[in-house]
Amino acid sequence: MEIQFFLHMQVTFSYRGGMTSSVPELLRGAGLRRTPTRLAVLARMELLARPCSHAELLAIPDLADLDDITLYRTLNTLVEAGLVHRIHGIDGVWRYSTQPRSQPGCPGNHAHFLCNSCGRMSCLLSEPMPRVAVPEGAEVHGRHFLVFGRCASCAGQQKAAE
Ligand SMILES: [Zn+2]
Ligand SMILES: [Zn+2]
């Protein structure tokens, strides 16, 4: 299993050009052990390049063997190491995304759109977070701007069914 992921990642990253670090290098750079689970989860998230929930990740065949707790722990470790960030949905579900390097992904600091029908979250890269003045002396630990509704595909399905 480990070898397969390694081969896959080599292909992925050489295809993207030499500018980015490989997944194993990222883990090493963050001081994390390169476990097969971390490698697999991070590599998949890089390919998805959008915020995905725990359930969406578990639905991917490569990751379907992971149990809930292992995936939670892995994601938390990656978040703590600064390799992944998370975005909260109006549905109460956190979505996780890799930090960007030179490839597309979620660089943060922008609004997101959540489809309440299919649960897919997209990055609104051209909609930067507004600047918000907070009370003097307050510390800001995060910002959250979510637009929600139905994605084009779900809205289209609804129209077709009507
Ligand atoms: Zn994003
Ligand atoms: Zn949708």
Cα of 137 to ligand 1 centre, how many Å?
A: 28
Considering every ligand atom, which ligand is closest to the CA of 85? 1
Mean local confidence (pLDDT), 135-151: 92
Number of C-beta neighbours around residue 147 at 10 A = 12
Domains of the chain: 2-161 (1.10.10.10)
Distance CA 28, CA 11 (A): 19
Q: Residues 98-115: pLDDT tens digits? A: 876 655 567 778 899 999
Nearest ligand by distance to the CA of 152: 2
Nearest bound ligand to CA 128?
1
CA of 110 to the centre of ligand 1 (A): 6
Helix (H) or strand (E) holding 47: helix 36-48
* Size of the chain in residues: 162
136: left (phi over 0), alpha (psi -120 to 50) or beta: beta
pLDDT at 105: 67
Identify which ligand lies nearest to the alpha carbon of 125.
1
Q: Which pair of tokens denotes residue 108?
A: 């943060």
How many angstroms does the Cα of residue 101 sit away from the middle of ligand 2?
A: 27
Q: State the burial class of residue 90 (Cβ atoms within 10 Å of its Cβ: 0-12, 13-18, 19+).
A: exposed
What is the pTM (predicted TM-score) of this model? 0.75
